[in-house]
Amino acid sequence: MGRTLAGRGTPTISLSAAQLVAAGALTAVAVPFDGLEAIDPGPAALTAVVVLGVLCTAVTFHLTHRIINDEGATDAAVVGYLLPVVSVLLGAVVLDERLSLRVVLGMAVVLVGVGTTRRNGAVSASAAPAGEGAVDGASAAADGRAARRAAQGGGR
């Protein structure tokens, strides 16, 4: 996606909207094969569908595309690795769930892996040559990615 869509000036909201529209169209094609049973959802069910669809899906897709556009696909993938760690910690703090040694070690492995990916890509904006400052966030992200590639001895 990074080479074809993100970073080429296409608004991230358009990318996420297109992805959700495509998913809706494919679902509509698949529905007749699963059966068309009449349903009568109540107001609570409809509200839940709207909240899940808008807040938990559409906003998440938009944020994911923003991360890909601003930081690159690797950083966007790293965010996904942190989700189980945050979920386990929230479960322990909010729901008083027990943390076993195996879970804590698993979280440590994930955090070490995430730290390893971040260590090699940590190039600050101040590392850019003088006079080549970026004007906006997208340019800054592109400059940072270019500096990381140059520091690693290659480009795409």
- The tens digit of pLDDT for each residue in 44-76 reads 988 998 888 878 888 888 888 888 878 887 878
Question: Is 18 part of any domain?
Answer: yes
For residue 6, what are its two tokens?
């993100």
pTM of the model: 0.49
- For residue 133, being part of any structural domain is answered with no
6 shares its domain with 66: yes
Please check whether residue 54 lies inside any domain of the structure. Answer: yes
Q: Which domain holds residue 6?
A: 1-32+41-71
Separation of first and last alpha carbons in the chain:
14
The verdict on 65 and 15 lying in the same domain is: yes
Tell whether 25 and 11 lie within a shared domain: yes
Q: Residue 103's pLDDT is what?
A: 94
Q: Of 112, 149, 128, whose CA–CA distance to 2 is shortest?
A: 149
Question: Do 52 and 100 belong to one domain?
Answer: no
Together in a domain, 78 and 53: no
Window from 19-28, 70-79, 144-153 with minimum mean pLDDT: 144-153
- Give yes or no: residues 91 and 115 share one domain: yes
- CA 44 to the chain's CA centroid: 29
- Same domain for 60 and 84? no
- Evaluate whether residue 129 is within a structural domain: no
pLDDT at residue 102 greater than cutoff 90: yes
CA distances (Å), origin 47, targets 21, 52, 67, 89, 113: 20, 8, 29, 29, 39
Q: Are residues 67 and 1 in the same domain?
A: yes
Q: Which residue has the tokens 């296409």?
A: 10
The total number of structural domains in the chain stands at 2
Residue 38 is given by DSSP the state -
- Does residue 152 form part of some domain? no
- Whether residue 79 sits in one domain with residue 18: no
Q: Which band of pLDDT confidence, cut at 50, 70 and 90, is reported for residue 145?
A: low
Q: Is residue 147 part of a domain?
A: no
Asked if residues 12 and 2 have their Cβ atoms less than 8 Å apart, the reply is: no
Which residue did the predictor score with more confidence, 47 or 154?
47
